[in-house]
Chains A and B, each alone.
Chain A
Amino acid sequence: MSAHFEPIAAPPKLLPDRADVVIVGGGIMGLAIAWNLARLGQQRIVVVEKSYLCSGASGRNGGGVRAQWSSETNVRLMKRSIELCSDFATKMRINVWFRRGGYLFLARSDERAKQLEESARLQRDHGLPTRIVDRAEMKEIVPELDVSRFVAASWNPHDGVVFPWPFVWGYARACEKLGVALHTHTDVREIETTNGRVSGVVTSRGRIATDRVLVCAGAWSPEITRMVGVELPSHPHRHEICSSEPLKPFLRPLVGDLADGLYFSQSMRGEIVGGISNAKVPDGIDQRSSLRFLGLYSRALSRAMPVLGEVKILRQWAGCYDITPDGNPLVGDVDEVPGMYLMSGFMGHGFMMAPVMGELFARWLLQGEERELFERWNLRRYRLGKLLSETMILG
């Protein structure tokens, strides 16, 4: 077979010694921002990624994309993000297998059902078709579901699921087309400051002089800011997920149980992909798989969908959530270190937020728009004691 293959791999590109913006982390956030900045005319953008693309949470997530949230900000942002997701394949010319099968959020108690009802009302005020459904209707949406333990569910047929890998590649390719220098296998080791301001980034492949650093390192973000003595309130937490053997398409929505954090959907490849909360996992960067997770998940899943009992789990893996105490991200400038910006703390929902946050961050940085959002979600809220809340979180 070797006879007809000529070596064609391009050698690794040279790392530039100067940049206007250095983005740390080539996950979905870093790439979405890089692309949006480049679109708005920003020159000399460098993205540095310590491993391969898709190695972080962006290559390890469930691909759920929903506008069912309990806070006005999240509803508004996700409405826009879903719009961007539905255009992505055409615009970026890559199949991201976006499928709008809806999200069905199950409630086990009247209290939770009431919360869902309030959120649904808020979502309807923003033009979404979310409504609360009873057991009979749950059965209509997912006939295989054992609804006996649930009192109600919140249902938005417009929510959906994407396949994360091509989404990352789509942004990466589009970035390179606009002249963004993307360097994988390049580890950021040090952030240099001069008179307290950012002046450079030292990587495993050389130094880049710059006065702007964007920290998009997901669960590793506290490690990066610690290089300049800034402690973030967020911390990494392992979250596991698995997929089954492929089945014929039968399951329409992503189903989520807010009580135990169980969620599952059927991917366009036919697999049942899902996860569950696992409270006993200690904090820290840890991407190993555990048997305990498989036990927890399988028990909860076979109770919710007994028919799946005979289905086999094919593979499991793990990634890290970047957890903040109030469940909202850390974005915008860092008061202590001029020239440093954050785009982190996206918990278990950063993938769906990336299209809209990339767009807004670029506009905020270059054109000064969306000040209110970048003020509200700024790191300084912790210093000022202005914490926010969001109740519709899986994980």
Chain B
Amino acid sequence: MSDKILACRCEDVTTHEIEEAVRAGHRDLESLKRYTGFGTGWCQGKQCVALCARLLVELGGDPPDAPITPRPPFHPVSIARLARLLPEGDE
């Protein structure tokens, strides 16, 4: 399809899907995220949140007062490293 524009590359969400979601009644950013899945992939929103928020507002949705809730860790960390976080015996 020639007019396919990606809004979120990791989760393959198009601007058309964002538009459809808003049309279906998702007028706040957190709902839009959970309905379309933008921001939940490998980049965790780095590349798409600003664009999706702007589209939402342009489409008449509610302006977000913050970006989507940040989810730690802010940088992916290996399970082996995290496994050494706590002292032995701390269960």
Contact = CB atoms under 8 A, between A and B. Distances in A.
A302 B80 contact: yes
B22 A9 contact: yes
Contacts of A55: 30
A289 B71 contact: yes
Interface stretch (A67-75, A105-113, A149-157, A309-317): A309-317
Interface in B49-91: 55-56, 58-61, 69, 71-73, 76-83, 85-86, 90-91
Nearest to B29: A52
Contacts of A308: 79
Interface in B39-55: 40, 42, 44, 55
8 contacts: A9-B27, A53-B34, A55-B30, A302-B79, A302-B80, A309-B80, A314-B42, A316-B71
B25 A10 contact: yes
A299 B90 CA distance: 11
B57 to A, nearest CB: 9
B80 A316 contact: no
A294 B73 contact: yes
B16 to A, nearest CB: 10
B15 interface: yes
B27 A10 contact: yes
Contacts of B28: 52, 184-185
B71 A315 contact: yes
B44 A315 contact: yes
Interface residues of B, number: 39
B85 A291 contact: yes
Contacts of A279: 91
Contacts of B17: none
B61 to A, nearest CB: 5
Contact of B58 (A7, A59, A294, A317): A7
A384 interface: no
B79 A298 contact: yes
A312 B69 CA distance: 20
B91 A260 contact: yes
Q: Which 10 residue pairs of A and B lie closest in terms of their CB atoms, listed nearest first?
A: A7-B60, A295-B85, A298-B82, A309-B80, A9-B60, A312-B76, A295-B86, A315-B71, A298-B83, A52-B31
A32 to B, nearest CB: 18
A97 to B, nearest CB: 11
A296 B91 contact: yes
A289 B69 CA distance: 12
Interface in A135-189: 165, 169, 173, 184-185
Pick the most buried of B42, B77, B82: most chain A CB atoms within 10 A of its CB: B82
A250 interface: no
B6 to A, nearest CB: 12
Contact of A1 (B15, B61, B71, B85): B15
Given A260-B91, A315-B71, A294 B85 contact: yes
A301 B25 CA distance: 40
A8 B73 contact: no
Given A1-B15, A260-B91, A297-B82, 15 more contacts: A7-B58, A9-B23, A9-B61, A52-B31, A245-B42, A246-B42, A289-B71, A289-B72, A291-B85, A299-B83, A299-B86, A308-B79, A309-B83, A315-B72, A315-B73
Given A169-B35, A294-B82, A313-B76, A52 B30 contact: yes
Contacts of A185: 28
B70 to A, nearest CB: 9
B59 A8 contact: yes
